[in-house]
Chains A and B, each alone.
Chain A
Amino acid sequence: MKFLKLLMRNLAKGPSTDPFPFGPTFTPKGLRGRISYDASLCTMCRACEQVCAGGAIRIDKTPEGMRLVVWQNTCVLCGLCQYYCPTGAIHHTDNWHMVHLEAEKFDQVEEGLIPYVACTGCGAKMVASYPNPKTLGFQPTQEDVEKLRLLCPSCRRKAIAAMGGKS
Chain B
Amino acid sequence: MSLISRISARSPWLYRINAGSCNGCDVELATTACIPRYDVERLGCQYCGSPRHADIVLITGVMTARVKDKVLQLFEEIPDPKVTVAVGICPISGGVFRESYAVCGPLDKYIPVDVNVVGCPPRPQAILEGVAKAIEIWKQRL
- On A, residues with C-beta under 8 Å from B are 15-18, 20-22, 25, 53-55, 71-77, 96-102, 105, 108
- On B, residues with C-beta under 8 Å from A are 36-39, 42-43, 89, 92-96, 98-99, 108, 112-120, 122-123, 125-126, 128-130, 132-133, 137
CB contacts (< 8 Å) of A55 on chain B: these are 96, 98-99
A73 in complex: contacting residue of B38, B92, B126, CB < 8 Å = B92
With contact pairs A15-B36, A73-B92 given, residues A102 and B116 touching in the complex (Cβ less than 8 Å) = yes
Nearest B residue to A54, CB-CB: B96
Bound CA span A71–B106, Å: 14
Q: Are B118 and A100 in contact (CB under 8 A)?
A: yes
Tally inter-chain residue pairs, CB-CB below 8 A.
91
B125 in complex: contacting residue of A20, A72, A102, CB < 8 Å = A20
Bound CA span A75–B94, Å: 10
Q: Which applies to chain A's interface (DSSP): helix, strand, loop or mixed?
A: loop
Min CB–CB distance B63 → chain A (angstroms): 15
CB contacts (< 8 Å) of B42 on chain A: these are 17, 22
Nearest A residue to B98, CB-CB: A55
CB contacts (< 8 Å) of A22 on chain B: these are 42
Bound CA span A89–B127, Å: 29
Bound CA span A96–B38, Å: 16
Between A and B, 21 residue pairs with Cβ closer than 8 Å are A16-B37, A17-B36, A20-B125, A21-B128, A21-B129, A25-B125, A54-B95, A54-B96, A54-B98, A74-B98, A76-B89, A76-B95, A76-B96, A98-B118, A98-B122, A99-B118, A99-B126, A100-B115, A101-B114, A101-B137, A102-B114
Q: Are A18 and B116 in contact (CB under 8 A)?
A: no
CB contacts (< 8 Å) of B39 on chain A: these are 15, 17
CB contacts (< 8 Å) of A97 on chain B: these are 126, 129
CB contacts (< 8 Å) of A21 on chain B: these are 43, 125, 128-129, 132
Bound CA span A54–B92, Å: 12
Bound CA span A69–B96, Å: 17
CB contacts (< 8 Å) of B113 on chain A: these are 102
Q: Are A75 and B89 in contact (CB under 8 A)?
A: yes
